[in-house]
Structure 1
């Protein structure tokens, strides 16, 4: 069954469930919606908003300026954020990412395959463990 409707500046469409509105709306494969400046979309679950939003495969969301995305678990924020495969996050200017465990910061940070440090403002070290 396919449900869907659009109203001048308002409307929505459903594959599973969903709708969109000129400036507001959402669409669902599983569940989701998007709004010109606000909205979200779900494969599993998720949504995105022009300036705010998130999307989930496992779980996650992203916001222009703030947001995160998860495969395992994680999020990223423009300016601040992190992403996880195992576990990790990265921040523009500060952040870290983990496959095993680790993080990196612009100017400061470290990353671990086994264990290791990247470089910190001209100082750093790396370990093969």
Structure 2
């Protein structure tokens, strides 16, 4: 026999546990570690001619942190929007549609940004 406490133990209001919360915290912290470097990089490249920017992205010390920052930001964004959808959308079908659209949008943006950085790196 399962008691009410046993059924809900470790589960949040969305019945998904704390995994998404922990992942959101970890990705936020990791992105915060890379953010100062990205700000420095943006300030350094601001106003430079296009060939200089393209040349900078052919260096691994520019392209790799940029890809890491994009991946962490997209993952963090997807998890955060998923939490908002879980909290404020109450229709099951609408929630499913929005979660799928959120997933496709986040990883679509990440894929496009990642491909752009890889293209500059390999140019």
Q: Tell me whether the two structures share a fold, i.e. TM-score over 0.5.
A: no
Greater strand fraction, Structure 1 or Structure 2: 1
Give the TM-score normalised by the residue count of structure 2: 0.30
Greater helix fraction, Structure 1 or Structure 2: 2
Give the TM-score normalised by the residue count of structure 1: 0.29
